[in-house]
Structure 1
Amino acid sequence: MKASDLSVLIGVILIIVMLVIPLPGWILSIFILVNITLSLIVILIAMNTHEPLQFSVFPTLILLLTLFRLGLNVSTTRSILSEAQAGGVIDTFGSFVIGNNPLVGFVVFVILVIINFLVITKGSERVSEVAARFSLDAMPGKQMSVDADLNAGLISEKQAKERREKIEREADFHGSMDGASKFVKGDAIAGIIIVLMNILFGLIIGMVQMGIPFQEAVNTFVRLTVGDGLVSQIPALLVSTATGIVVTRAAGEGNLSNNVTRQLTQFPKLLYIAAGAVFLLGLTPINFFLTTIIATVLGFSGYMLQRAPEVSEVQAEEEEAADETAAMKAPENVVDLLSMDPIEFEFGYALIPLADANQGGDLLDRIIMIRRQLAIELGLVIPVVRIRDNIQLQPNEYRLKIKGNEVAKGELMLDHYLAMSPDMEDDPVDGIDTVEPAFGLPAKWITEDIKDEAELSGYTVVDPPSVVSTHITEVIKRHAHRLIGRQETKQLVDHLKENYPILAEEVTPDPLSIGDIQKVLAKLLKENVSIRNLPVIFETLADFSKLTNDTELLGEYARQALSSQITEQFVQEDRSIKVITVSGKVEKMIAENIQQTEHGNYLPMDPGSQQDVIRSLQEEAEKMTLHQDTVIVLCSPAIRMYLKQLVDRFLPQVVILSYNELEPDVDVKSMGVVNVA
């Protein structure tokens, strides 16, 4: 254990000892001086911190210092009442303040206690309470601000994490300070009670038990009590003042001394007015010589402060010119130009209000919600979406890029609403014909004055921010498999290790590398299967990676392990599912054409047979779209992967499931059969 740790532990033990064991006067004098020194150090630190969190241990320190003072009070009270002495420090303080008049000394002490209790301690307690309440109320807004900056690309993930932690620590600090201020208040009250008890019982013990005359008892016990009170109240006053300084510190660039001097002297001309007012006071019976000196000092200070900015501006211009010269001579740094944002959202200048919070735009907040929604649905942390305007686009145009490649685009009319109807042939609403960008449905841009009419006519009416948010969500879903790389996979594995360390170690780095796991997860995401249930996926990989390292097959095993999840994704409310089945002839054809190589299995079927299977599937899919939106094909587990590879190039929206991916209680309803002649 370090010496610093031991010193704190020994200090706490000594406090407990003071409460129980009588201490000689010379030891009490040492502890009293240590108490005053610690309190002085605390107030100096409070004055030189730039923000409260730099002194985050302060609430706990208040408790320890309060306990230390109370321990000293108990020990000194025991010495005063039992021996009529409490060490040289207390006796010196009492004699210096009281002098020859105990009553005057007692009054001075009472005034000091009133200042500490009613002014500083009471004010610090109230400020701590308000600061704690405001800090907790402001937490959601601060968190949203961090998320907005993160989505706008202004800060990195690491910076966002640090800022969130700082916000949490600020709330914890102010909450702790609210409680610690109660210790300060209780300490002040205890000091008053202890002083009154020392005087009262000191006089009784001195006259009754020790046989001291009344006048001598008054002089002795009042002197010692006032001395004891002073050596206790002075540190208490310093700590109370430090508490007030810490909790009233607003955001600033420097420490308290720097801020006070800079802000009090930021208007030099006002010092001339103050100098004139003080000089006029000297024309009254007030001391003319003294007021003249003060006025002269104020006027000279104003003159010097007024000159200072001019010198600073010249120096700043010279430094700026030197920096520009150095920048021009420095070699160009092109490394930063190589980085590429995973997701970029660009828009024309007419769509700037969509992202500008000052104009009511909430796109940043919507993207925050999109990232949270996709994290829940897909189990993947979507990278930060870089948002920027692009003057090369049409004013109302926007586009979405993934890893530098354009994957979607669209147009918005901010002063219109998008109206969609299941039956566009019967069209009672006038508008500008368009296509809903996310799903390709026919739609119209309508004005706000006919919005209610369109809704009554059965249209689904959506505002422009919701249109673009839905489009972004669907595009990211479709391309989620492109967003998960080895780095993202490593982050998911590290997160899994926190709760399932043995499971993660059994899978990676042996027998599967991070790259192998990334391929399995990308395969699942490509077919819109959520990877949020990562423990189940890793359990499957742990079982089957010992048999094969083919990531395509491992992906199939993972799909089967996620059968309940896949079932819930496609099954209807009555636990039934409408599918297109595959005939035995087609399954046999595909199974016979599978070829196994050292690099994996693939399906080299002849083009004619491929066209026959695709044509039959397309015909059945067109019939099925009349009954439901999602076309689902059900086949045996042995050919599911190869049938998906075959269909994906022509009908990527078709879902291919195997029998093992459906729960036994599902009622399968065949709506057609894929067959060939």
Structure 2
Amino acid sequence: MKAKDLVVLIGIIGIVLMMVIPIPIVLLDFLLIINITISVMIVLVGMNTQEALQFSVFPSLLLVTTLFRLALNVSTSRNILAHAEAGEVVETFGNFVAAGNIVVGFIVFLILVIVQFIVITKGSERVAEVAARFTLDAMPGKQMSIDADLNAGMINEQQARDRRRKVERESDFYGAMDGASKFVKGDAIAGIIILLINLIGGFIIGMTMKDMSFGDAAATYSILTIGDGLVSQIPALLISTAAGIIVTRASSEGTFSNDIMSQLTAYPKLLYIAAGTVGFLGIFTPIHWFTTLPISAVLIFAALKMQKNLNRKQVEEEQMVEEQQIEEVRSPESVISLLQVDPIEFEFGYGLIPLADTQQGGDLLDRIILIRRQCALELGIVVPVIRIRDNIQLRPNEYIIKIKGNTVAGGELLLNHYLAMSPGYDDDSVTGIETTEPAFGLPALWIDEVTKERAELSGYTVVDPPSVVATHLTEIIKKHAHELLGRQETKLLIDNVRETYPALVDDLIPNVLAIGDIQKVLVKLLKEKISVRDLVTILETLADYGTYSKDHDILTEYVRQALSRQITQQYTSQEESLRVITVGPGLEKKIAESVQQTDQGSYLAIDPTSSQMIYHKLGEQVSKMVQSGHQPVILASPTIRMYLRQLLERTMQDIPVLSYSELEPNVEIQSMGVVNL
């Protein structure tokens, strides 16, 4: 435990002991001065903070100082009632305020207590309660604003995380202030009760036990009570004022004093009006002119001075803006900033603005958040921020999707319609505008609200325009996920694994493989729509086999075999068996004989005639499976799987090619056809 932690703990224990153990007068004076000093420091800190969270310890500090003040009250009351004295500090405050007149001193003290209890404490409590309520009510809106800025690319993930943490801390702070303000109110009530106890109890003890006359008892105990109340209420008043300043403090770039001076003096013309009003009072009322005219003169002088400063600042700001614009044009950064390419962009015509405008009911930003979460769960990667912008060069209802600055997909939407996709048979009563579903290329119709119910009863799949966009964007991200995973993104994924599996990462990187090697393996998996979410298994496999081979294709095959359970579940889903197109021995032999080995790795070199024959026969089998309503899956031996995948890379990219070693032993394989040469 550090020394400062130990000091705080001893201090808290000492405060509690003060309520039970009598304290010497000299030590009591010392503690009373410390109490006043702490309250002054709290007020000064509260005035010099730019926002409430810079003094986040204030609610807890408020409780500790209140407890300390009550402990001092108990100690001074014990000395007043037992010994008719409470030290020089209490006696000095009492004599100074009373000034020889106990009644005047008592009235002044009561005024101070009333101001403390009714004005400062009551106001601070109410402000803290309202601030806590509004902060909690505004929390969901702030969170949505952060998500919107993140999706729009205005902030990055770390900035969003920091802003969310700040919103949570604000809600915690104002909630704590709401509770801590109740201690301030209770402290004020306790101060009044202790005052009455000291005054009445002192009279009784003085006249009955100490044989004082009524006048002596009244003089002695009144002075001590007033002094005790002052040394208690003045720090309480200061801390209550600090609480009010902090909870009413709006976030700004300056301190409390700077804000007061800058904002009160921001309108010089109003000072002329104030000077004229004060001068009018001195000339046309019994108030003497030498009281008001000097104030009017000072206000006029200040207004002239401020107007001159404002004019100078305005000229300086205009010159600075011009210089910045010139520098931006001249600087190389003005061109370099244009080189930035966003990973994913979604652009739309002005007719689709309601999709993204939350004020018009658009929920596209919320859907994009769900898309990124879905891709993280299904693919195991963090999808970069999707830049959303309108583009006046597009048709009003057109949208396009770009990957790294290049258009990869697009479509058109009719906002006041629904997209209806046929269940396999057409209903003549369902009519609309013929179109193509953008995500999967299926024939569809744009139908109006009246036709929607009829289409649903006829078995059509009916979706609204935002769902069409969300589905299309999701499929495009899945299709191009391998393009979005670079070395930097791979490092972030590995750093996430390092937090829970540091030994695995340290053993693999950089001793066995570099981040670039791992990235290439992950890209090959994503290219064949294999999720990399189980990154621990992938890294374990690479650590095992990376010492034997640096060939990315071979390492990918080892990883696929390690992910056999995942791959099996991905393609069998709820079905009991896996229907596949089997590669015959003749075709396997042809591919195996066409593999060429080089120093850079192995590749498939097959003659064009054989390639066309393979494409033709595979195409026939794929068409049969599609017509029977099953997803085409090609099954080959482990030795030729990756080469067959290379052969089909361009013509049949979406058809998965699996090997026997990638399937679990308990899965039932049903061959729907054989491709052979």
Distance in 2, matches of 1:623 and 1:328, equals: 62
Matches within 5 A, 1:77-88: 77-88=77-88
Distance in 2, matches of 1:362 and 1:442, equals: 26
Residue of structure 2 equivalent to 1:218: 218
Residue of structure 2 equivalent to 1:580: 581
Structure 2 residue matching 1:548: 3-state secondary structure: coil
Sort the Cα spacing of 1:628 and 1:141 in 2 relative to 1 into closer, same or farther, 3 A: farther
Q: Is 1:240 aligned to 2:240, yes or no?
A: yes
Q: CA deviation at 1:376?
A: 1.8
Residue of structure 2 equivalent to 1:63: 63
Count of aligned pairs between the two proteins = 676
Residue of structure 1 equivalent to 2:96: 96
Question: Does the 8 Å contact 1:271/1:298 carry over to 2?
Answer: no
Identity of aligned residues (%): 59
Sort the Cα spacing of 1:431 and 1:525 in 2 relative to 1 into closer, same or farther, 3 A: same
Identify the range of structure 1 (326-335 vs 109-118) with the bigger mean alpha-carbon deviation. 326-335
Identify the range of structure 1 (657-666 vs 528-537) with the bigger mean alpha-carbon deviation. 657-666
Question: Does the 8 Å contact 1:276/1:295 carry over to 2?
Answer: no
Structure 2 residue matching 1:334: 3-state secondary structure: helix
Residue type matched to 2:371 in 1? I
Question: Does the 8 Å contact 2:268/2:307 carry over to 1?
Answer: no
Structure 2 residue matching 1:422: 3-state secondary structure: coil
Distance in 1, matches of 2:403 and 2:106, equals: 79
Q: CA deviation at 1:220?
A: 2.0
Residue of structure 1 equivalent to 2:625: 624
* 1:353-378 deviations in Å (ceiling 9; x for gaps): 43333444333332222112211221
Residue of structure 2 equivalent to 1:502: 503
Identify the range of structure 1 (414-423 vs 470-479) with the bigger mean alpha-carbon deviation. 414-423
Identify the range of structure 1 (85-94 vs 383-392) with the bigger mean alpha-carbon deviation. 383-392
* 1:119-171 deviations in Å (ceiling 9; x for gaps): 32233223223322322232222122111112212223333232222212212
Q: Is 1:196 aligned to 2:187, yes or no?
A: no
Q: CA deviation at 1:238?
A: 1.0
Q: CA deviation at 1:240?
A: 1.0
Residue of structure 1 equivalent to 2:413: 412
Distance in 2, matches of 1:636 and 1:444, equals: 44
Identify the range of structure 1 (290-299 vs 641-650) with the bigger mean alpha-carbon deviation. 290-299
Note the residue ranges of structure 1 that are not aligned, 5 or more in a row: none
* 1:392-432 deviations in Å (ceiling 9; x for gaps): 43443322221222222223333433222133665543333
Residue of structure 1 equivalent to 2:649: 648
Distance in 2, matches of 1:181 and 1:466, equals: 49
Residue of structure 2 equivalent to 1:484: 485
Residue of structure 1 equivalent to 2:439: 438
What TM-score comes out, normalization by structure 2 length?
0.90
Identify the range of structure 1 (311-320 vs 156-165) with the bigger mean alpha-carbon deviation. 311-320
Residue of structure 2 equivalent to 1:112: 112
Distance in 1, matches of 2:331 and 2:409, equals: 40
Matches within 5 A, 1:6-85: 8=8, 11-12=11-12, 14-16=14-16, 18-19=18-19, 21-85=21-85
Identify the range of structure 1 (169-178 vs 230-239) with the bigger mean alpha-carbon deviation. 169-178
Over the aligned positions, Cα root-mean-square deviation in angstroms equals 3.2
Residue type matched to 2:47 in 1? M
* 1:568-625 deviations in Å (ceiling 9; x for gaps): 3222434333222333443444445445544334333444443333322221111111
Sort the Cα spacing of 1:674 and 1:301 in 2 relative to 1 into closer, same or farther, 3 A: farther
Residue type matched to 1:468 in 2? V
* 1:263-287 deviations in Å (ceiling 9; x for gaps): 5566666667767776777799863
Distance in 2, matches of 1:471 and 1:260, equals: 54
Residue of structure 2 equivalent to 1:514: 515
Note the residue ranges of structure 2 that are not aligned, 5 or more in a row: none
Residue of structure 1 equivalent to 2:674: 673
Q: Is 1:126 aligned to 2:93, yes or no?
A: no
Q: CA deviation at 1:97?
A: 2.1
Distance in 2, matches of 1:563 and 1:325, equals: 61
Q: CA deviation at 1:496?
A: 0.9
What TM-score comes out, normalization by structure 1 length?
0.90
Sort the Cα spacing of 1:281 and 1:424 in 2 relative to 1 into closer, same or farther, 3 A: farther
Distance in 1, matches of 2:609 and 2:419, equals: 44
Distance in 1, matches of 2:576 and 2:264, equals: 75
Structure 2 residue matching 1:625: 3-state secondary structure: helix
Residue of structure 2 equivalent to 1:362: 363
Q: CA deviation at 1:239?
A: 0.7
Structure 1 residue matching 2:648: 3-state secondary structure: helix
Residue type matched to 1:52 in 2? A
Distance in 1, matches of 2:291 and 2:359, equals: 52
Distance in 2, matches of 1:616 and 1:291, equals: 108
Q: CA deviation at 1:318?
A: 4.3
Distance in 2, matches of 1:50 and 1:182, equals: 25
Identify the range of structure 1 (115-124 vs 601-610) with the bigger mean alpha-carbon deviation. 601-610
Distance in 2, matches of 1:634 and 1:329, equals: 61
Residue of structure 2 equivalent to 1:340: 341
Q: CA deviation at 1:381?
A: 0.7
Question: Does the 8 Å contact 2:282/2:293 carry over to 1?
Answer: no
Question: Does the 8 Å contact 2:281/2:292 carry over to 1?
Answer: no
Sort the Cα spacing of 1:343 and 1:324 in 2 relative to 1 into closer, same or farther, 3 A: closer
* 1:483-513 deviations in Å (ceiling 9; x for gaps): 1111111111111111222222222222121
Distance in 1, matches of 2:211 and 2:603, equals: 111
Sort the Cα spacing of 1:290 and 1:531 in 2 relative to 1 into closer, same or farther, 3 A: farther
Question: Does the 8 Å contact 1:428/1:457 carry over to 2?
Answer: no
Identify the range of structure 1 (315-324 vs 486-495) with the bigger mean alpha-carbon deviation. 315-324
Sort the Cα spacing of 1:354 and 1:208 in 2 relative to 1 into closer, same or farther, 3 A: same
Distance in 1, matches of 2:578 and 2:345, equals: 38
Question: Does the 8 Å contact 2:283/2:289 carry over to 1?
Answer: no
Question: Does the 8 Å contact 1:378/1:532 carry over to 2?
Answer: yes
Identify the range of structure 1 (239-248 vs 202-211) with the bigger mean alpha-carbon deviation. 202-211
Structure 1 residue matching 2:75: 3-state secondary structure: helix
